Structure 1
Amino acid sequence: MSHTGTATTDMAVGAPTAVVSVKPVVLPAPGRGEDLRVRVSAPATGSELPVIVFSHGFGESMDGYGPLADFWTAHGFAVIQPTHLDSRTLNLSPDDPRTPLIWRLRVEDLKRVLDGLELIEAAVPGLGGRLDRGRVAVAGHSWGAQTASMLLGARVLDPKGEPGEDLSDPRIKAGVLLAVPGAGGADLTPFAAEHFPFMNPGFAEMTTPALIVAGDRDQSLLSVRGPDWFTDAYVLSPGGKSLLTVFGAEHSLGGISGYNVTETTDENPGRVALIRRLTWAYLRTALGLDDSAWPAARAALAEAGDPLGRIESR
């Protein structure tokens, strides 16, 4: 194991605990066309559990992202993963009238989870009364990161550059945006500009604290820019943000979307270990659980002889 791996592994994470995971928990969703199905995972014991609501990338489902969800849950977080309408498990037709609205329905899915925490607690044996409503974070990967960013205050800009509706949610105290798409307009390929009008984010109002995670080899097929496109949410938003740049990482960031998934082009367990520990430490501090977790994690990375990434903050 490299010195890097040791440095990040030695971060005071604590031993993993037993977890309980239940799926599907079904939340009524009138007007959506079908009810919202979520996976709920939580430590088997403990109270006042902080919550992470996780939005998956295009085509994925509540069953994805085990390398992150399993780690977060085993180390003290309740993780709630909705299945959005673009999931391959639902097989929605491209000409379904909901298809152009999925970006918006995704945001509503996350809000529906927040509205349904009581129902979620009741549906999972032993979870009743154990979620901390005052410590809720949102996280997401790729399209899911854009979805999550809207709850942090990001807006979709109209063709004139005016910010659209404010979909932020005061119940969300912090965010983790993994490979979040950057600016639209001239930064998009003609195909993306024509087919994905919602890919025109404005980050000027994204005021909620967040950690943005970007791979320095993540070349998007939707943008004419290089991997720095994925840092826009950090560069263009107000302060109170941190950026983790992961060296050598492509869009799967080493393989966060699942164990042995075929779409991972840059499989690297070290990168995944780094990301899950740093995101865990960031949220521990951002949600007021442990002021020292994030500074200690940053120090461990800075002191590594051959680091897997770098952190900056503003």
Structure 2
Amino acid sequence: MTNGTDRRTVLAALAASVLPGGLRAEENLVMRRSPIPGEDPHWYAFGQNGPWNPHSEPFIVPYEAARVVVHAPRGVKTGRLVVFSHGALTDPLVYRPLLQHWASHGFVVAAPVHDDSIFMRGLLARRAEAKGGSSWDVDRVLNDALAWDGRCEACRLPLEHVDRIQKVIGYSVNTERPIIIGHEFGAYVVQLLLGAKVVADMGKPLKFIDPRWYAGMMFSPQGVGVMGLTEDSWGGVSKPFMVAQAGLDADFTGQTAEQRLDAFNRSAPGNKHLAWFPQARRNLPIGPSAGGSLAEKTQFEDFRAITTAFLYAYSNYDEAVFHQLITDWPERATLKRVRTAYR
């Protein structure tokens, strides 16, 4: 080699020759750590990236009412639909490590950019203070029944107009058993769509149920006493779901992590799962920050594992995984880093 340019050319050609499936270097590759001796092989498989490379950048699918960010696997003929609702004043891209992980396991993950996103109309929740500066009127966003309805409608778009997603990603999307998932405000949307009854201003009861959802997952949902939720809000929720809750969670609602378990404890029995992460904090679904501790990285692997297992059990209808989920398998596999319950 006579110069740096020649060296770069040779290295680029070598990389192209070894990348599977003709992938370009900028595309995501399936990366997994090596298993630890004695580690449960099934838990390891669910916590690591799956067999498919997700597209390195998500697709943006425009609808009249909202934009939808779609994470999709490469090299599949079809993928099952998962819809994800982000937290208040955030954006789907915040959850990219998790959504890409599900896509690597073969799921097509559609995440609407809600009106309260900081990148959409969320700036309307910012108000000027008397002494200058600004503050966020989050309470106004969370307690607006029109905002609840708008979020629910946005989550229905991928289900009702899946043809648009199929046209963009280039293959079919299976909507036979669609799963709805959300974090914080998104978890509230999941509760509404699965049938939770809430009380709005003037004591008017509201229901936003959509029976087309087969099951759901809620990350840090709300409990009795906020956003119109009462003790009997969940009595009619019969669809399968999982509540995944960080034990050290704390946010502006003031509710404890234990109060956030009301959906699990008060809903109708039958296919209800709880995944409790005693030492995890609020950012668990987002993943560890750069330079995060080993404990945070392990917690996020555990989180990816149990949520992916739920998708296999209910969206893929994998009976073997379902039977694992209703046992103490997650506790044994994680040495009780994750505590589970089933009712």
Q: TM-score range by the shorter chain?
A: 0.7 to 0.9
- Tell me, yes or no, if the aligned pair for 1:8 and 1:274 is still in contact at 8 Å: no
2:215 is aligned to 174
Partner of residue 147, structure 2: 102
Identify the match of residue 175 of structure 2 among 126, 133, 148.
Answer: 133
CA, structure 1 residues 95+309, in 2 after alignment: closer, same or farther (shift >3 Å)?
closer
Q: What is the 5 A alignment of 1:57-136?
A: 57-90=87-120, 91-94=122-125, 100=144, 101-124=146-169, 126-127=170-171, 130-136=172-178
Match of 2:249 among 204, 207, 218: 218
For 1:281, the equivalent position in structure 2 comes to: 309
Mean Cα deviation higher: 288-297 or 138-147: 288-297
| Aligned counterparts of 2:190 and 2:290: Cα–Cα separation in 1 | 23
Structure 1 equivalent of residue 4 of structure 2: none
Which residue in the other structure is 1:38 paired with?
Answer: 68
2:321 aligned partner: 293
Q: Sort the Cα spacing of 1:300 and 1:313 in 2 relative to 1 into closer, same or farther, 3 A.
A: closer
Task: Give the structure with the higher percent helix.
Answer: 2
| Structure 2 match to 1:28 | 64
User: Residue in 1 aligned with 2:6?
Assistant: none
Secondary structure of the structure 2 residue equivalent to 1:227: coil
C-alpha spacing 1:108/1:57, structure 2 compared with 1 (3 Å): same
Q: List structure 1 runs of 4+ shifted beyond 6 angstroms.
A: 1-5, 159-162, 264-267
Conserved in 1, the CA contact under 8 Å of 2:216 and 2:241?
yes
| TM-score normalized by the length of structure 2 | 0.74
Equivalent position of 2:206 in the other structure: 164
Q: Which residue of 2 aligns with 1:19?
A: 54
Equivalent AA in structure 2 for residue 212 of structure 1: V
Q: CA deviation at 1:88?
A: 0.9
User: CA contact under 8 A between 2:50 and 2:101: conserved in structure 1?
Assistant: no
Match of 1:306 in 2: 335
Q: Percent identity?
A: 26
Contact 2:198 2:205 in 1 (8 A): yes
- Secondary structure at the residue paired with 1:138? strand
Deviates more, 1:104-113 or 1:133-142: 104-113
1:246 equivalent in alignment to 2:274: no
Per-residue Cα deviation, 1:168-214 (whole angstroms, up to 9, x for no partner): 22221010101111111xxx5xxxxxxxx546582122211001111
TM-score, reference length from structure 1: 0.81
How far apart, CA to CA, are the structure 2 residues paired with 1:183 and 1:252? 22
CA contact (8 A) 2:43 2:333 kept: no
1-structure distance, mates of 2:85, 2:290: 18
Classify the secondary structure of the residue corresponding to 1:24: strand
1:272 alignment partner in structure 2: 300
- Which structure has more RCO (C-alpha within 8 Å, separation ≥ 6)? 1
Deviations 1:217-263 (A, max 9, x none): 2234423x53211101101111121111111122222xx2256289x
Contact (CA 8 Å) 2:235, 2:266: kept in 1 or not? Answer: yes
Deviation (angstroms), 1:81:
0.8
> Can you give the 5+ residue segments of structure 1 that lack an aligned partner in the other structure?
30-35, 189-196
Give the distance between the partners of 1:77 and 1:304, measured in 2 at CA.
Answer: 24
| Cα contact 2:306–2:330 (8 A) shared by 1 | no
Q: Which residue of 2 aligns with 1:144?
A: 186
Distance 1:217 1:70 in 2: 25
The code of the aligned residue for 1:19 comes to: P
Cα gap change, 1:83 to 1:137, in 2 (>3 Å): same
SS of the residue corresponding to residue 104 of structure 1 reads helix
Comparing 5-14 with 302-311, greater Cα deviation is found at 5-14
The equivalent position to 1:7 in structure 2, one of 40, 51, 68, is 40
AA partner of residue 335 (structure 2): D
- Name the CA distance, whole Å, in 1 between partners of 2:68 and 2:202: 37
Q: CA deviation at 1:303?
A: 2.1
Q: 1:67·1:259 contact (CA, 8 Å) conserved in 2?
A: no
Amino acid at match of 1:226: T
Equivalent residue pairs, number: 288
Q: Distance in 2 between matches of 1:117 and 1:291?
A: 27
Q: 1:305 to 1:56 in 2, by over 3 A?
A: closer
Counterpart in 1 of 2:27?
Answer: none
Write the distance in 2 (CA, Å) between the matches of 1:8 and 1:299: 15
